[in-house]
Amino acid sequence: MRLATATTAAELAQRTGARLLGDGDIRITGLNEIHHVGPGDLCFVDHPRYYAPTLASAASVVLIDRETDCPAGKALLIHPEPFAVYNRLVWEARPQVQWNDEKQAYTVGAGTIIAPGVVIGKGAVIGKNCHLGPNCVIGDGCVLGDRVTVSAGTVIGEEAFYFKRTADGLIPWRSGGSVLLEDDVFLGPCCTIARGVSSTTVIGRGSKLDAHVQIGHDCKIGAHVQMAAQVGVAGNCTIDDWSILQGQAGIAQNVHMGERTVIMAQSGVGRDLEGGKSWFGSPVQEARKAFRDLVKLRKLGEK
């Protein structure tokens, strides 16, 4: 997420009580977790498994819970609870706001129809000729392009299902990202599109989602993608253009599916998939092989 006002590593060290290593003049312009971090960002790490990739990432400043050599061109902030500091910074950058229906709190384009019961959050931007069905919710800061349909009961931009596991229980991350629905997107009734933890969850131009589809945080759904009812896509997935997900398909987190991928009904995807192919089963196999295997299994009991 981008910060409204940039700060420096030295200023942030003073604010948080962290010990500074490296260049205190480095400007911090954003907060991001490791999957979407870039130059100017602050990232945090508190587990040995992720020390090396985080320190080698594009992050300009790293919150870390142990002293280590500071990579060239970066700054380290040493603090015993990096996650708590990071989460507090996100809360400060995106505080909770009261829901209201004041027109000046959001922007609506010409020709857009808003049905009874619609709730629109502060700073949301709704494009031209959209249709917002009864009782749908558009979260604060979310952006809809032109000619977008959000059907009844659909929720755009709620908090990500993302928790830090601690000895005291599961601590929720504050979601600092947003949601973008590009032009001509259609969302059926009762869909849920989670906002990004630190980036923007994107549904690409012309994509169509049936009823009861769940899209997790930070997903990047390409253009003209179709998803049938009850598809579930976990966080941080990328699904390229013109792909098709049939009913009740489930996609695990961090998966990348290439262009024109077809996932057949009730299949379970737990790994990256090559585009231009059809896939079936749980775990998925290329559909032709999966069907051949099913035929062989049925023949095992035959005399």
Query: What are the residue numbers of the active site?
Result: 217
> Which residues does residue 202 pair with via DSSP β-bridges, in sequence order?
180, 220
Which residues have a Cβ under 8 Å from the Cβ of 193 and sit 6 or more positions away?
154, 155, 156, 157, 179, 181, 187, 201, 203, 215
In a 10 Å sphere around its CB, with 0-12 CB exposed, 13-18 middle and 19+ buried, how is residue 152 labelled? Answer: middle
Contact present, 198 and 38 (Cβ < 8 Å): no
CA gyration radius, the chain: 22
| Chain centre distance of CA 201 | 4
Which residues have a Cβ under 8 Å from the Cβ of 31 and sit 6 or more positions away?
1, 3, 41, 42, 43, 86, 89, 90, 93, 176, 198
C-beta atoms surrounding 78 within 10 Å: 18
Look-up of token digits 């040995």 = 48
Contact present, 47 and 166 (Cβ < 8 Å): no
CB-side neighbour CA atoms (13 Å) of 99: 8
